[in-house]
Structure formats: structure tokens, C-alpha cells
């Protein structure tokens, strides 16, 4: 059974005022950066796009446009679209608005998953899942369609209803979501400081 990576980009980014997937923290658009993080862990990585993004994104990764049949369901739209197109795969899902995400954290997450579960996701201290940092098995496709048809479009509620696994990351910072221009500036400053500190450590290494 193959594991595919899925970068979810199709949100409206209304609070940010610009497409969050195109924000640049370090030399490349965030959707490309997140895809790069998933490459070591997955057989293939797919960019989930809305119609406008599908036309404008220029990437070496395979793009998949949201299907009109699943429109209006938020992040569930992207997940349903890819599961309808590629029903025989499990998916490691990452949203485009988590600038502190790392391949190591995603690898730890994968190793923690009980494989008899239908899905699993990062879980925060407030008792909520982060559905866009998750793993969804192909076995959950039918239940996902049924939830959509019934008007239950919340992935948070879907994960709870299906007994999804809970992963508490090594660093809570991993789950910081950037939704506003102020969030973006703060995250970029923090990442720049971290890069400077890492550079100094390398310079001082004997």
C-alpha cells in the first residue's frame, strides 16, 4: 500500500489578504516548501489546489484541482477530491500554513500511528485535532463521502466521530498556524532568528 503526500492549498486566506500558500519564509513559496518536507516520507507528493491556483502554480509536483462535486466543504474538499481520484492510497496531509513544520516531526508522527486506525492527526493541549496535519487511510473514503453528503463538513468533527489517533508533537510550535499578516511577520522573524542561531552553531563547531 503506497503512501502519498498531500499539501492542502485551496483555502480562501481571507484574514491574510493574500494566498497563504504563496508566502515565502525562505526562498520558495510555502506550498513548495511543505511539499519538499513530505518527499522523504512519501512515494509521491500532490498539491491540492483550487481552480485559480491550479492555473497559476508552476511546480514540479503534480497538481490536483478541487472537484466541483465537493465544493464548499473547506479543507474536506481537497481531501475528498484526491481520495476520489486516487482511492487506493493512504495520504499524509499537511496544510500550507504551518511554517514551523519539519520532516522530522512528520516522520515521528508516522511512526506513532497505530495502523489499524482509520486516521490520525496532530493533537493540541486544548483538546483539538489539527486535521491538516494528519494521516488518512484509504479505508476512510466512504465515511468521508457520507459525512459530506450529510452536510457534516468539519474534519475536526469527522476525526472525533471516527476515533482518529492523537499525536502530540515534540514541539507545540509545530502546530502554530499563520492566518494574518501579523502572524506571518512574527513567524518569519522567529525563523530568521533560528536560522541565524543554527548558522552560528555551525561556525563555532570545531
| Number of residues assigned to the chain | 206
Residue matched to cell numbers 502519498 = 4
User: Does 20 appear as a known binding residue?
Assistant: yes
First to last CA, the chain: 45
User: Does 9 appear as a known binding residue?
Assistant: yes
Using CA of residue 22, residue 8, residue 67, residue 63, what is the dihedral sign? positive
User: Does 8 appear as a known binding residue?
Assistant: yes
CB 14, CB 101: distance < 8 Å: no
User: Does 104 appear as a known binding residue?
Assistant: no
Strands 44-49 and 3-8, bridge-based pairing: parallel
Q: Quote the crossing angle between the two packed helices 75-85 and 141-149, to the nearest 10°.
A: 130
How many Å separate Cα 22 from the centre of its chain?
A: 14
Question: Which residues are CB-contacts of 179 (< 8 A; sequence separation ≥ 6)?
Answer: 15, 16, 20, 97
Strands 44-49 and 62-65, bridge-based pairing: parallel
Residue matched to cell numbers 473514503 = 141
Residue ranges of the binding site for GTP: 8-10, 20, 66, 97
Q: Which residues are annotated as a binding site for Mg(2+)?
A: 97
Binding residues are 8-10, 20, 66, 97
Amino acid at each position: 500500500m503506497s503512501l502519498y503526500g498531500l499539501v492542502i492549498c485551496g483555502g480562501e486566506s481571507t484574514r491574510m489578504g493574500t494566498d497563504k500558500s504563496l508566502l515565502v519564509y525562505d526562498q520558495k513559496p510555502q506550498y513548495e516548501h511543505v511539499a519538499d518536507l513530505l518527499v522523504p516520507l512519501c512515494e509521491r507528493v500532490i498539491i491540492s489546489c483550487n481552480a485559480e491556483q491550479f492555473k497559476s502554480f508552476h511546480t514540479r509536483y503534480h497538481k490536483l484541482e478541487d472537484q466541483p462535486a465537493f465544493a464548499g466543504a473547506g479543507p474536506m474538499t481537497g481531501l475528498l477530491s484526491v481520495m476520489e481520484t486516487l482511492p487506493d492510497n493512504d495520504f499524509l496531509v499537511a496544510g500550507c500554513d504551518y511554517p514551523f513544520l519539519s520532516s522530522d516531526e512528520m516522520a515521528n508522527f508516522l511512526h506513532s500511528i497505530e495502523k489499524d486506525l482509520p486516521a490520525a492527526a496532530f493533537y493540541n493541549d486544548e483538546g483539538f485535532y489539527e486535521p491538516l496535519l494528519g494521516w488518512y487511510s484509504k479505508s476512510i473514503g466512504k465515511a468521508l463521502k457520507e459525512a459530506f453528503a450529510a452536510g457534516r463538513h468539519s474534519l475536526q468533527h469527522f476525526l472525533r466521530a471516527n476515533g482518529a489517533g492523537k499525536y502530540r508533537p515534540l514541539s507545540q510550535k509545530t502546530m502554530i498556524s499563520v492566518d494574518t499578516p501579523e502572524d506571518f511577520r512574527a513567524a518569519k522573524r522567529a525563523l530568521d532568528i533560528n536560522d541565524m542561531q543554527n548558522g552560528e552553531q555551525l561556525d563555532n563547531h570545531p
